[in-house]
Amino acid sequence: MTRDTAEAAFALLASDIRLRILETLVDVPQRESLSFTELYDAVDAANTSQFSYHLKELTGQYVQRQETGYVISDAGRRIVQSIRADEYTLQPEFDPIAIETDCPYCGATSAEATYDGRLATIGCLSCANSVLRYELRPGHVAKRSSLQALKAADRQMRGELSSAVDGVCQRCGGSMKLEFFTGKDVAPATVLVVYECQHCMTTLSVPIEVALLHHPEVIAKYWDGNLNVTTTPTWELLSEISDWDVELDESNGVVVEFPGDKQLRFELERDEESQLW
């Protein structure tokens, strides 16, 4: 989408009547529609000519006209969902909280989670480095304590990462480009895994150990030890990750050795739409 087409798409929403039309249609049960008169009565517009104009502007992009009446399009549904989630109108409120974790930089266990208006960050209190960062949304904090909100943000991130590992962007469904980065710039990580959506440019960047928490063998290994790594917050798993031995081999691959001599190996060369395993 170019800037001009995006501007035109958002300009269509610059009307209270149009937003009321979308909100009315989004609540219509699937496989049902509203006639012009039913929709007009539900929206309670000033007059039919004004209502007709706004409905016509929405039709095609956000509203679809069928033989039986009007229904909302997928694009219109996503707009209403975003509005109801307050994604564009509210700034999340988050009180700083103490977090116990294992800092990968210095090994200290005391940290604090804060929010700076952009990201929720778990920062080590000993070395001041950022241990984990999360996108914090209004829905994460709604009717939740700061700790519950942080856990919700972690689950959101892990869900997006799990989908990225399969090569699919959870935000838009686009294909994910996979790249590996090594060297001093990614320290203390040995290998940094970066996923970038080729459609919406959403980017996820994690040490390979965090990505491996979604590997079936890793899940099974810890499940046998009565630890569910799919639901445990990431900051509580850093002590487990720190026991892994990650090395680069001479064949352009990364070898991960777990306590107990279990190994997994991955090639570092990937094409744009490949999966991690």
**Percent of the chain at pLDDT exceeding 70:** 94
Mean pLDDT, range 115-132, rounded to an integer: 96
Q: What is the Cα–Cα distance from 103 to 127, expressed in whole angstroms? A: 9
Q: Is 253 left (phi over 0), alpha (psi -120 to 50) or beta?
A: beta
Q: Is the pLDDT of residue 86 over 80?
A: no
What's the chain's average pLDDT? 89
Q: What is the pTM of this model?
A: 0.81
Of residues 207 and 87, which shows the higher confidence score? 207
DSSP state of 89: T
Share of the chain above pLDDT 90, in %: 61
Q: Band the pLDDT of 9: cuts 50, 70, 90.
A: confident
Calculate mean pLDDT across residues 212-236.
Answer: 92
- The residues pairing with 274 across neighbouring beta strands, listed in sequence order, are none
pLDDT recorded at residue 62: 92
- Is 202 strand, coil or helix? coil
Confidence of residue 55 (pLDDT cuts 50, 70, 90): very high
Grade residue 114 by pLDDT with cuts at 50, 70 and 90.
Answer: very high
Q: Is the pLDDT of residue 229 over 70?
A: yes
Q: Can you give the pLDDT at residue 82? A: 83
| 265 vs 133 pLDDT, higher one | 133
Query: pLDDT at residue 130 above 90?
Result: yes
Mean pLDDT throughout 84-88? 76
**How high is the pLDDT of residue 5?**
66
Rg (CA), the chain: 24
Lowest mean per-residue pLDDT among 7-16, 141-150, 153-162, 217-226: 7-16
The helix or strand, by DSSP H or E, that contains position 237, with its residue range, turns out to be helix 234-241
Query: Taking 90 as the threshold, does the pLDDT of residue 59 lie above it?
Result: yes
Q: Flag whether pLDDT at 274 surpasses 60.
A: no
Question: Torsions phi, psi of 24, nearest 5?
Answer: -70, -45
Check residue 6 and give its pLDDT.
Answer: 67
Average pLDDT of the segment spanning 134-157: 95
| Average pLDDT, integer, range 213-217 | 90
CA gap 209, 192 in Å, rounded = 9
